[in-house]
Amino acid sequence: MPQLTYLEAIRQGIWEEMERDPTVFCLGEDIGIYGGAFKVTDGFIDRFGPERVIDTPIAESAIVGAAFGASLTGMRPVVEFQFMDFIGCAFNQIVNMVAKAHYRWGAPAPLVIRGPSGGNVHGGPFHSQNPEMWFVHAPGLKVVCPASAYDAKGLIKAAIRDNNPVIFFEHKYLYRRTKEEVPAEDYIVPLGKARIAREGRDLSIITYAAMVHTALEAAETLSREGIDLEIVDLRTLAPLDREAIVATLRKTGKVIILHEHARTGGLAGEIAAIINEDAFNHLDGPIVRIAAQDSPVPFSPPQEEYFLPQVSDVLREARRLRAY
């Protein structure tokens, strides 16, 4: 099987869906001639033409409005934002129009809004945010955060085929840093299903996106100390795979919830509530959460390192929880 980077896997997934389905088209800022801010759509305009690879003004609300209208006519638009931080400019369109279309009149709205998110690249407070929870809170949207190249390709293809609106967060730190074998044949990864990134028996880490790799690195160190971590990669945040959360708790009895989003109002709180409701009797220790600071993302590299969860944080909390 060929090896692909996370970025190339997403690019290939969109390309294949455009080849497969003529109703799929892309629109966004500098995606055509320039090929996108991170080059995800490089070469698309040469293959599919300007009617299906549409350069837009820098106006996120207008982009989503146009895509929403197209989706209501049977098209499958794929919107790219240069940085997902600026998705806030389209918040009204997404939350009050797109997310409510099916509820209001039963209309499918098959569009994908995708782009780079996340920190650890020294992009500062306007280019390093993790806005996923803004949309997990909005009923009617699916929210996806892949951690691997295999999943990134399979999930983007599933998102494009889905008849619901999907917000697809691509962690920019992973774009060219992760690489793995990806099948050449057509496949999808179902939305709403977590995966076990690492089997373990002593305690569980529930996480997603770049923090999966932080957890995996910590697990290698801890395995040499006789501590066996199980790592659950959620992949999709809405809908959330409650069954996978409960299953890992039944197995290990102890859990760390790890995410790059801010601690307050982050997904860890919701997962803790699910555990309390559905798996309380299986707990053998306190629920631990590791998250980013409640602060804008610092530009300074040392400050950003302090702001973000690190492998050392996972090691400290895992050792403490294992000994509880």
- Which active-site residues does the annotation give? 127
CB-based contact 16:158 (threshold 8 Å):
no
How far apart CA 289 and CA 207 sit, in angstroms, is 10
CB-based contact 6:177 (threshold 8 Å):
yes
C-alpha of 285 from chain center:
29
How far apart CA 86 and CA 73 sit, in angstroms, is 26
Given CA atoms 36, 41, 43, 48 in this order, what sign does their dihedral have?
negative
CB-based contact 1:184 (threshold 8 Å):
yes
How far apart CA 128 and CA 83 sit, in angstroms, is 8
CB-based contact 158:189 (threshold 8 Å):
yes
CB-based contact 53:32 (threshold 8 Å):
yes
Cα 220 to Cα 116, 235, 310, distances in angstroms: 28, 21, 14
Using DSSP, state whether 267 is helix, strand or coil: helix
Six-digit token string for 272? 């803790």
How far apart CA 96 and CA 116 sit, in angstroms, is 23
How far apart CA 196 and CA 215 sit, in angstroms, is 12
How far apart CA 86 and CA 89 sit, in angstroms, is 6
How far apart CA 161 and CA 155 sit, in angstroms, is 10
Phi-psi region of 293 (alpha: psi -120 to 50; beta: other; left: phi over 0): beta
CB-based contact 232:206 (threshold 8 Å):
yes
